[in-house]
């Protein structure tokens, strides 16, 4: 409680911190006695989906100060936390843009950042949301793109996602090709409840990763973002950025099925990828077409690799195709009926866990996850 003139403002509620054994992300800690600043910080926490712990000074005992994943110290309270133990993730929050002394006070309390409201509100909401979501290692994000039409990229994308989910990884499959017919159809879930791309086309800024995951259809132990049967045929780059950033924050794996045409939305998707796989049939015309696709994708994507699909034209093998495209070779994509004619199968590609396609996907994830951990 704080008195301001004759007005009494009650705006401080202290919660017990969650136990470390709960496994849930901790709450941010707010330290301030400025009622107006507190009101703003509580509003920003609410926008980020976080419930903070609030104190006028360093909590006693100091377990909350040490355990909180983020500490927001009002400039009015800087002198009260000066003797607290040094720690990371401390933000000094003020309002006076012209107060040069705020930097000295930030150094005195060991703050990582100095933030002035209202200018820094969006940055702070993002930082608090990271805390609320328990952000850790971002998802390994893999994109699949066909070197020519009918190369089998969508089927490989589905098989990779199904394999990752079967191995126990949190998995999101994103259909970024509005003209591909819908990956939910390929997975046998066109009637499944959940949101599709048109619901996210107007997205800007930050999406909650948990809310995104829960809103999407769940098929074969993975979440799928695909298309409805409406007229929406493009994803604005801001929406693509918001959706993939939220998906990556959730961890695990994200697989993106990409179209061959690269517009602004697809370029944004390419920028979010860790690895891209270009699927190329081993025939000269396909290699020629794939060179154009690869040239465009490599303007944005740093790590593009090629998976070569037989049967092979005379004089070609997987290594020769990789050499002609000047791309690292992922391997030979096996030829099986589920790859070439997925609609004839009663189960989605890779679902059985048996056969050469499932083995290709499993080996790909094993290598890629080891590379990601070593990076």
pLDDT at 41: 96
- d(CA 264, CA 204) in angstroms, rounded, equals 15
The 8-class DSSP code of residue 213 comes to H
CB atoms within 10 A of CB 353: 13
pLDDT at 337: 58
pLDDT at 346: 62
Give the range among 55-69, 280-294, 297-311 with minimum mean pLDDT.
55-69
- d(CA 298, CA 290) in angstroms, rounded, equals 12
Q: For 11-62, what is each residue's pLDDT tens digit?
A: 333 333 333 333 455 789 999 999 999 999 999 998 887 899 999 999 887 7
Mean pLDDT estimate for the chain: 86
Give the range among 138-152, 199-213, 361-375 with minimum mean pLDDT.
199-213
Residues of the chain above pLDDT 90, percent: 62
Question: In the predicted model, is pLDDT for residue 222 greater than 90?
Answer: yes
Considering only residues 287 and 26, tell me which one the structure prediction assigns the higher pLDDT. Answer: 287
- d(CA 260, CA 322) in angstroms, rounded, equals 18
CA dihedral 349, 366, 282, 290 (to 10 degrees): 90
- d(CA 183, CA 158) in angstroms, rounded, equals 7
pLDDT at 316: 93
- d(CA 265, CA 179) in angstroms, rounded, equals 14
Considering only residues 338 and 71, tell me which one the structure prediction assigns the higher pLDDT. Answer: 71
pLDDT at 10: 27
Q: Are strands 90-94 and 29-31 parallel, antiparallel or unpaired?
A: unpaired
Give the range among 26-40, 178-192, 258-272, 359-373 with minimum mean pLDDT.
178-192
- d(CA 342, CA 188) in angstroms, rounded, equals 11
Largest interatomic CA distance in the chain: 91
pLDDT at 336: 66
Helix (H) or strand (E) holding 102: helix 101-109
């Amino acid at each position: 409680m704080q008195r301001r003139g004759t007005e009494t403002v009650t705006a401080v509620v202290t919660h017990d911190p969650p136990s470390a054994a709960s496994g849930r992300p901790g709450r941010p800690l707010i330290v301030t006695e400025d009622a107006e600043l507190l009101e703003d910080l509580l509003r920003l926490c609410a926008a980020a989906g976080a419930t903070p712990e609030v104190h006028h000074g360093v909590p006693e005992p100091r377990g909350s100060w040490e355990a909180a994943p983020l500490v927001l110290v009002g400039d009015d309270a800087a002198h009260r936390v000066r003797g607290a133990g040094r720690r990371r993730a401390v933000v000094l929050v003020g309002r006076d843009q012209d107060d040069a002394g705020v930097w000295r006070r930030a150094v005195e309390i060991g703050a990582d950042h100095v933030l002035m409201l209202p200018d820094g509100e969006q940055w702070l909401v993002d930082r608090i949301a990271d805390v609320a979501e328990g952000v850790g290692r971002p998802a390994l994000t893999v994109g699949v793109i066909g070197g020519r039409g009918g190369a089998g990229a969508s089927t490989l994308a589905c098989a990779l996602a199904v394999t990752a989910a079967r191995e126990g990884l949190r998995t999101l499959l994103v259909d970024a090709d509005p003209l591909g017919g819908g990956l939910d159809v390929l997975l046998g879930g066109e009637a499944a409840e959940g949101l599709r791309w048109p619901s996210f086309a107007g997205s800007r800024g930050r999406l909650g990763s948990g809310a995104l995951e829960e809103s999407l259809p769940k098929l074969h132990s993975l979440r799928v973002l695909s298309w409805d049967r409406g007229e929406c045929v493009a994803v604005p780059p801001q929406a693509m950025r918001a959706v993939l950033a939220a998906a990556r924050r959730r961890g695990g794996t994200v697989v993106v099925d990409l179209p061959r045409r690269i517009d602004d939305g697809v370029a944004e998707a390419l920028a979010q990828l860790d690895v891209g796989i270009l699927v190329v049939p081993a025939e000269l015309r396909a290699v020629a077409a794939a060179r154009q696709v690869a040239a465009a994708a490599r303007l944005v994507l740093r790590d593009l690799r090629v998976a070569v699909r037989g049967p092979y034209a005379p004089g070609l093998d997987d290594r020769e195709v990789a050499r002609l495209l000047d791309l690292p070779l992922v391997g030979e994509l096996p030829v099986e009926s589920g790859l070439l004619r997925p609609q004839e199968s009663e189960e989605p590609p890779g679902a059985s866990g048996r056969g050469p396609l499932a083995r290709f996907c499993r080996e790909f994830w094993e290598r890629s996850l080891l590379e990601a951990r070593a990076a």
